[in-house]
């Protein structure tokens, strides 16, 4: 696997998780998904931030 493939997959995963977290946050705010704790949604957002940072530094690392 080359580095651009890994970066593309990380970016796709980042977008999917960000979309899911945003959708859950909006649906919970509307009162449709009230059974989901807010901590779970914040963990999803934290995971997106960590994944985004990892994806950014993945492009910067040298492969030997």
pTM for this model (two decimals): 0.76
Mean pLDDT of all residues in the chain?
85
Q: Indicate if the pLDDT at residue 62 is higher than 60.
A: no
Please determine, for residue 63, whether its predicted confidence score (pLDDT) is greater than 70: no
For the segment 41-58, what is each residue's pLDDT rounded down to a tens digit?
999 999 999 988 888 887
| Across 20-32, average pLDDT | 92
Q: How far apart are the C-alpha atoms of 43 and 6, rounded to whole Å? A: 23
When pLDDT is averaged across residues 9-24 and rounded to a whole number, the result is: 89
Residue 27, judged by CB atoms within 10 A of its CB (0-12, 13-18, 19+), counts as middle
Side-chain-facing half-sphere of 52: CA atoms under 13 Å = 11
């Amino acid at each position: 696997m080359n580095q651009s493939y890994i970066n593309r997959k990380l970016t796709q995963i980042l977008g999917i998780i960000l979309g899911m977290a945003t959708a859950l946050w909006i649906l919970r705010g509307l009162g449709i998904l009230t059974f989901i704790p807010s901590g779970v949604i914040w963990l999803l957002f934290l995971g997106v931030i960590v994944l985004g940072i990892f994806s950014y530094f993945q492009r910067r690392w040298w492969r030997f």
